[in-house]
A and B are shown apart, each in its own frame.
Chain A
Amino acid sequence: MSWYLIAAIFVVGIWGVIAIPNLIKKVIALSVANSAIIVFFVYYGSLSGRTAPILSPDAPAGVPPVDPLPQALMLTAIVVGVCITALALALIYRLYKRYGTLDARTIERAVWELDE
């Protein structure tokens, strides 16, 4: 069930990037889709054990620790995602200052007509 839910979040994100013309909302949708992938990894990792993967003498014996690798990978993926979002918003801000709109269709029409 959870798998389908995560897949649905991913699909919603991709749909948002495709269908919503507002550039800010496109970036939000990208972040949503990105989060869905992150949840995929983290949820899969969480199924592999029942306690934190810390090597210490007072760790509960007999309880398998979770696989730490997916979490470590996703930390990196989150950082990458933040960079992408920040850069995208900076670009959109510049475009907004010049065209006064966030509508992707309007801006696309205005910009590509420059070279006609």
Chain B
Amino acid sequence: MNSVALLVVLPFVGSLMGLAGKLARAPRFFSIAAVLPLVPMAGLLAMSLPAVRAGSVISYAMGGWPEPIGIVLHLDGLAWLSSVLIVVIAVAVCVASFCRTGYGSSFFFFLMILISGMQMVVLTGDIFTLFVSFEIVALAAYVLIAYDQTDAGLLASLKYLILSTVGILFFLFGVFLIYRDFGTLSLATIRTLASERGGPADGLTVTRSIHFAVAALCVGIGVRTAFIPFHTWLPEAHAYAPHPVSAILSGVVIKVSFLAMIRIVWTLSAGYLNELLLWIGAITSILAVIWALAQSDTKRLLAYHSISQMGYVLAAIGAATATSLTAGFSHAVNHALFKSLLFLVAGTAIRMTGERDLFRAPAIGRHSPILAAAFLVGALSISGIPPFNGFASKQLVGTALGGSPAYLLLRITAVGTMASFIKVSRIVVPVFRLSPRRVATPASIDPLVTGAVAPAGTLILFPAIFLALLCLLSGLFAPSLAAFYSDLLAPAALRQGSPVAIAVAQPGGLASLYKSAKLIETAIVIVAGWLLYRLVLTPPGKRIAGSIKRIAPELRTVLLYFVVGLGLFALFAYV
């Protein structure tokens, strides 16, 4: 059993520890034992870096059965980076989960199953195992969302279950079509067959059923990645889950499914989807930010921003230029870092004050300044303010998109993001509550003054500081980091026949990150964001926000979107 298999097996062993804790009635000890396997996982990943960086692929055939028959795991550059991301976020989330004593060892059982499933998703080399690992991830996620058994949590979990099961049925149908036409499920074998059938570029796209298969696979994964029109489960599921669960769901779960989709699109040479992805990404980002701006629930606002930021990633990948893969991946990583940070701190603030509504919640800034500072780092990152990482990756996305008209939509999104983070920062910084229409809370009932606020605990400070530092460092060293990403991603992309030539980003090209033109542009975004924020707080703005908030599609409407989305993807292939 080599290091690749251990990456999947170790978290699974950890989850068994969690289960043992349920039986042995020593939850604290076994909960810690359950999360410990993350340490050797990090070690394994560090050890395999030189080989992966040299462009080789570490494989493990389960049970000794080779590629077309058995289940084979591959660790290439893309898988390595995703795996590292999963481990980093998982460590932060596990530490944060120990802050609240309410999570028994069964919580860690499901958390480790989730991590094991995500490792499977990024490592697996065939599409049926991909289906199984998606379902492992999903089952663990459903239970974790409903873990607190609040009414909203239960319904959000059920809604997610129904929608993503319908999505995965389409996925399975796509798997069927692929199996019927190729007689194999392994991505590598499909790739070989495709090149034998005549050229890697158009060998596959000739049959209509493959077009439909790609569409079905994309719809299935699209539900997990939550881009418009498949996004409707996400705001509730991420908002009403327990706080650490929201962090891991928004941080990595929606990303690993997207990375799986990139692999499938490459392997099946479905380059014709790029333009569709570009526009879906741009539209997703702008619509989601409008909804985010209208929310008054802290976590719902953050959840809508997850959709919006995934739109950036999608648009970058869809642009299909030389830097697009690096740009998209950087933004996915950076979003994972700052969104987990924001969810963890916002969750702690909600736990302290017991108030989810950001207009009513007292600011925790004076009470725990470190948490407030960490939250502001996250907010500045997501709004794209230098020197934090969001600025770097948003500039990269801009470079990747080039002069595409879709970039205009992303610029408007940046303004909306700025405005909504000025709005949400009032949960940590009291300065933003000086808005004229607000009545100050009398000191006698202010929970921060009367001491009714629960203590944050010192344990939450570690993941908060850790993630905030990562946000800052990955912003400061963005050029070298981007070169590192493209070093690792390029061989993986070429091996799977990416239609996009991936240029290794030249350090010179990225050093121009802090050019004055870009800084002026950022300043304009800040000013426009502030104006938009004031606009939203005026009475007509509040009325519009209220009516946008009420447009929450029912379950049945959402399912109709699915069928429309499937048709859209399939139609796009024929045109």
Residues of A within 8 A of B (CB): 10, 14, 17-19, 23, 26, 30, 33-34, 37, 40-41, 44, 69-70, 73, 76-77, 80, 83-84, 87-88, 91-92, 94-95, 98-99, 104-105, 107-108, 110-112, 114-115
Q: Are A30 and B162 in contact (CB under 8 A)?
A: yes
CA distance A93 to B356 in the complex (A): 27
CA distance A87 to B146 in the complex (A): 11
Decide yes or no: A108 and B132 within 8 Å by CB, A34-B169, A98-B151 being known contacts: no
Chain B's closest residue to A13 (CB) is B169
Binary A-proximity of B540-575 (CB < 8 A = 1, otherwise 0): 000000000000101110011001000000000000
Decide yes or no: A95 and B154 within 8 Å by CB, A19-B556, A37-B173, A87-B143 being known contacts: yes
Size range of the interface on B?
Answer: 35 or more
A52 to chain B, nearest CB (A): 19
Q: Are A108 and B165 in contact (CB under 8 A)?
A: no
Q: Are B161 and A87 in contact (CB under 8 A)?
A: yes
Task: Give the residues in chain B near A87, CB-CB below 8 Å.
Answer: 139, 142-143, 161
User: Is B157 part of the contact surface with A, judged by Cβ < 8 Å?
Assistant: yes
A45 to chain B, nearest CB (A): 9
Q: Are B158 and A88 in contact (CB under 8 A)?
A: yes
A101 to chain B, nearest CB (A): 12
Q: Are B132 and A80 in contact (CB under 8 A)?
A: yes
Q: Are A40 and B176 in contact (CB under 8 A)?
A: yes
Decide yes or no: A115 and B143 within 8 Å by CB, A88-B162, A95-B154 being known contacts: no
Decide yes or no: A44 and B161 within 8 Å by CB, A33-B169, A34-B169, A114-B152 being known contacts: no
Residues of B within 8 A of A (CB): 128, 131-132, 135, 139, 142-143, 146, 149, 151-152, 154-155, 157-158, 161-162, 165-166, 169, 172-173, 176, 179-180, 236, 297, 300, 356, 552, 554-556, 559-560, 563
Decide yes or no: A91 and B154 within 8 Å by CB, A37-B172, A77-B172 being known contacts: yes
New A-B pairs, 15, CB < 8 Å, besides A18-B560, A114-B151? A10-B169, A14-B559, A30-B162, A33-B166, A34-B165, A80-B135, A87-B139, A87-B142, A87-B161, A88-B161, A91-B142, A95-B155, A98-B151, A111-B152, A115-B152
Task: Give the residues in chain A near B157, CB-CB below 8 Å.
Answer: 91
B176 to chain A, nearest CB (A): 5
Task: Give the residues in chain B near A34, CB-CB below 8 Å.
Answer: 165, 169
**Looking at B131, B149, B169, which has the most chain A CB atoms within 10 Å of its CB?**
B169
CA distance A56 to B472 in the complex (A): 65
A16 to chain B, nearest CB (A): 10
Task: Give the residues in chain A near B169, CB-CB below 8 Å.
Answer: 10, 14, 30, 33-34, 37
B interface secondary structure, majority: helix
Q: Are A91 and B161 in contact (CB under 8 A)?
A: yes
Decide yes or no: A17 and B158 within 8 Å by CB, A84-B139, A112-B552 being known contacts: no
CA distance A5 to B151 in the complex (A): 40
Q: Are A105 and B554 in contact (CB under 8 A)?
A: yes
Task: Give the residues in chain B near A41, CB-CB below 8 Å.
Answer: 176, 179
Q: Are A92 and B173 in contact (CB under 8 A)?
A: no
CA distance A112 to B151 in the complex (A): 9
For this complex, 22 residue pairs linking A to B, each with C-beta atoms less than 8 Å apart, are A17-B166, A18-B560, A30-B165, A30-B169, A33-B166, A37-B169, A41-B176, A44-B176, A77-B172, A83-B135, A87-B161, A91-B142, A91-B154, A91-B157, A95-B154, A105-B554, A108-B554, A110-B151, A111-B151, A111-B152, A112-B152, A115-B297
CA distance A96 to B554 in the complex (A): 19
Chain A's closest residue to B138 (CB) is A84
Task: Give the residues in chain B near A107, CB-CB below 8 Å.
Answer: 155
Task: Give the residues in chain A near B161, CB-CB below 8 Å.
Answer: 84, 87-88, 91
Q: Are A14 and B149 in contact (CB under 8 A)?
A: no
Q: Are B151 and A95 in contact (CB under 8 A)?
A: yes
Q: Are B179 and A70 in contact (CB under 8 A)?
A: yes
CA distance A112 to B563 in the complex (A): 25
B91 to chain A, nearest CB (A): 27
Task: Give the residues in chain A near B146, CB-CB below 8 Å.
Answer: 91, 94
Task: Give the residues in chain A near B142, CB-CB below 8 Å.
Answer: 87, 91
Task: Give the residues in chain B near A23, CB-CB below 8 Å.
Answer: 158
CA distance A30 to B169 in the complex (A): 9
Chain B's closest residue to A21 (CB) is B556
B35 to chain A, nearest CB (A): 24
CA distance A77 to B157 in the complex (A): 21
